């Protein structure tokens, strides 16, 4: 249990209520959060939160999800724990605990751990949530957990396991008729094939996802496989097809007002033109991405656009123009602690200064580049070690899932055998009782028949005795 006492439960609710007053204004720009926090305040101070109810559990779980989405992980975890406590106190008939709410709360906790890179804890809580969903046969909840397990395995590079879980999720979603979920699963499976360089299979699954999205009229969903298919064609060197699919995705994102998505697509289209040695169109698209990223405060997009823009000038052998842009890239990268992009900028700046004949500055930037590269390499080695540990832990969790399923099957077999045994015993007892009853009836009827016969014999005996008496009396009378 996450909280073991009723006092902790009430303290948790008091914390949540106080939290609403302290932080509701901080997130007022997020309409969904503002609405959820307002609703929680009403429930917390009108007595609606004194007992466990399913609507409150849903509200707490929704808040956990929203705070996770904006990166407020500690707050998200607090709401997930509060949801767990509240769900555990709900009474359904004679049972205590709403398993669906408990499962969702533990799924939220697992998602938070996964986002923070703590894969061991993510696996642990996904497994716990899976048990809750299995208790009630919540197929939708189980499909969600299988999908999330696939994502974690994909993140650590365990692609075979990832695809296995994605297919488990897909099978359930197909059974439920969840077309949107099926489309998501197809896209996820496509991502795995793309990471494994199985480009034809990747396009096949992306196309399946796209077809369903189109049937549903889900334009936002259609933009994703369009972008993914474009990326596959770019990797294959089929640049015209890449631009075709990127443009389709861009058209949808533009219609929906998705400026971040538009900024990313400007970068992708620019990169395709750069690969085709079409430098002017490439720079035009990089400038568009840069402008849009600045407009929405998308700093990661800003630094990538600067680097791409500067490198294009270098390709054109214009080191002076390149250096101006690359210095901007280095400044933004340092500000947002984007080490890979800072390393990239330093390498290009070293190239610029070498071309300009400023070898001292070139050496300076090359040293910075080498230092950043070493640090990133060390971090990457640590990440790989952590990844291997996570894969090992993941295998252990997978074995636990398999053992859980086997245990459930064993329990089912044992229960069936026990039921059969009980039936045999019941039938045997019933048969024995029928024999006893039959014997008793037979004995009783025999007794009655014997009694009747005895009465007849006695009566006959009396008649005979009476006749004998009459005869004797006649004899006695004759003697006299």
Sign, Cα dihedral of 143, 146, 150, 151:
positive
CB contact at 8 A, 280 and 291: no
pLDDT value for 443:
60
| Same fold: 1-137 with 147-257 | yes
pLDDT value for 378:
79
pLDDT value for 165:
97
Residues sharing a CB contact under 8 Å with residue 29, sequence separation 6 or more, in sequence order? none
Q: Give pLDDT tens digits for 299-326.
A: 999 999 999 999 999 999 999 999 999 9
**Which pair of tokens denotes residue 479?**
């003697």
Mean pLDDT (the chain) is: 82
Residues sharing a CB contact under 8 Å with residue 270, sequence separation 6 or more, in sequence order? 281, 282, 283, 284, 285, 286, 289, 308
Question: Is the pLDDT confidence value at 124 over 80?
Answer: yes
Q: Give pLDDT tens digits for 209-267.
A: 999 999 999 999 999 999 999 999 999 999 999 999 999 999 999 999 999 999 999 99
Per-domain residue ranges of the chain: 1-137, 147-257, 290-376
Q: Which of 50, 29, 2, 30 shows the shortest CA–CA distance to 16?
A: 50
pLDDT value for 379:
67
Alpha-carbon distance values, 279 to 79, 247, 304 (Å): 51, 18, 17
pLDDT value for 36:
87
Q: Which of 236, 307, 293 shows the shortest CA–CA distance to 265?
A: 293
Confidence of residue 18 (pLDDT cuts 50, 70, 90): very low
Q: Give pLDDT tens digits for 321-353.
A: 999 999 999 999 999 999 999 999 999 999 999
**Which pair of tokens denotes residue 100?**
């669906």
| Fold classification of 147-257 (topology level) | 1.25.40
CA dist 344 and 358 (Å) reads 19
Distance of CA 238 to the CA centre of its chain: 35
- pTM over 0.85? The answer is no
pLDDT value for 43:
72
Question: Does the domain spanning 290-376 belong to CATH 1.10.3720.10?
Answer: no
CB contact at 8 A, 64 and 99: no
Q: Which of 155, 150, 130 shows the shortest CA–CA distance to 403?
A: 130
Of the chain, the end-to-end C-alpha distance in Å amounts to 116
CATH class of this structure's domain 1-137: mainly alpha
pLDDT value for 302:
98
């Amino acid at each position: 249990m996450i909280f073991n006492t009723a006092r902790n439960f009430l303290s948790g609710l008091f914390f949540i209520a106080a939290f609403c007053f302290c932080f509701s204004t901080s997130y007022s720009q997020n309409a969904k959060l503002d609405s959820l926090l307002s609703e929680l305040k009403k429930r917390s101070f009108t007595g609606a939160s004194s007992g466990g109810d399913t609507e409150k559990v849903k509200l707490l779980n929704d808040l956990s999800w929203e705070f996770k989405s904006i990166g407020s992980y500690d707050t998200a975890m607090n709401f997930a724990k509060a949801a767990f406590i509240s769900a555990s106190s709900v009474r359904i008939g004679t049972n205590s605990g709403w398993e669906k709410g408990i499962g969702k709360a533990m799924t939220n906790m697992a998602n938070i751990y996964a986002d923070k890179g703590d894969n061991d804890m993510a696996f642990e809580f996904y497994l716990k949530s899976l048990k809750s969903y299995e208790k009630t046969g919540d197929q939708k909840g189980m499909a969600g957990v299988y999908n999330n397990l696939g994502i974690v395995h994909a993140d650590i590079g365990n692609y075979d396991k990832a695809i296995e879980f994605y297919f488990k999720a897909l099978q359930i979603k197909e059974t439920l008729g969840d077309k949107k979920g099926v489309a998501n699963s197809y896209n996820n499976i496509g991502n795995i094939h793309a990471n494994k360089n199985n480009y034809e299979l990747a396009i096949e699954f992306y196309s399946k996802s796209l077809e369903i999205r189109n049937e549903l009229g889900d334009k936002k969903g259609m933009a994703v496989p369009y972008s993914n298919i474009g990326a596959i064609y770019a990797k294959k060197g089929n640049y015209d097809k890449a631009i075709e699919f990127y443009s389709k995705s861009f058209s949808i994102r533009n219609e929906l007002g998705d400026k971040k998505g538009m900024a990313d697509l400007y970068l992708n289209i620019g990169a395709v033109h750069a690969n085709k040695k079409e430098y002017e169109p490439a720079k035009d698209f990089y400038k568009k991405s840069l402008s849009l990223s600045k407009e929405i405060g998308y700093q990661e997009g800003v630094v990538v656009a600067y680097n791409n823009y500067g490198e294009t000038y270098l390709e054109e052998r214009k080191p002076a123009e390149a250096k101006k842009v690359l210095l901007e890239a280095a400044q933004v990268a340092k500000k947002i602690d984007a080490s890979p992009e800072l390393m990239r900028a330093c390498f290009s700046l070293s190239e610029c200064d070498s071309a300009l004949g400023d070898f001292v500055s070139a050496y300076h930037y090359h040293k910075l580049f080498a230092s950043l590269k070493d640090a990133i390499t060390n971090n990457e080695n640590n990440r790989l070690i952590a990844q291997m540990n996570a894969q090992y832990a993941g295998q252990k969790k997978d074995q636990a899932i398999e053992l859980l399923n086997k245990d459930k099957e064993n329990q089912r077999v044992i229960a069936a055998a026990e039921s059969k045994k009980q039936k045999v015993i019941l039938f045997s007892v019933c048969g024995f009782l029928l024999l006893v009853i039959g014997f008793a009836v037979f004995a009783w009827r025999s007794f009655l028949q014997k009694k009747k016969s005895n009465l007849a014999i006695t009566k006959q005996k009396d008649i005979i005795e009476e006749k004998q008496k009459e005869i004797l009396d006649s004899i006695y009378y004759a003697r006299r």
